[in-house]
Amino acid sequence: MLLAIIWRNCGRPGWHIECSAMSMSVCGSKLDIHAGGFDLKFPHHDNEIAQVF
């Protein structure tokens, strides 16, 4: 409900930004290795990398 009020029913933050936020909260702003499933290479990993810069 709170997201609906804040975002005015435009949806919710996607899982790309969620993964970026979790990585930064655990590892800090520097992350040397980014790994994941091959099926997530594009666009998920590209979006995560773009969002943290």
**The pTM is what?**
0.49
pLDDT of residue 4: 60
Domain assignment present for residue 47? The answer is: yes
**Percent of the chain whose pLDDT exceeds 90:** 0
| Three-class secondary structure of residue 50 per DSSP | helix
pLDDT in tens, 22-33: 888 888 877 777
Domain assignment present for residue 5? The answer is: no
Please give the C-alpha separations between residue 36 and each of 8, 20, 26, 48, in angstroms, as whole numbers. 33, 13, 17, 11
pLDDT in tens, 6-21: 666 666 667 777 877 8
User: Where in the sequence is the domain holding 47, given as residue range(s)?
Assistant: 13-51
Domain assignment present for residue 31? The answer is: yes
Domain assignment present for residue 44? The answer is: yes
| Residue-by-residue DSSP string for 1-31 | -HHHHHHTTS----HHHHHHHHHHHHH-S--
- pLDDT surpassing 80 at residue 37: yes
Number of domains in the chain: 1
Nearest to 29, CA basis, from 1, 4, 8, 53:
53
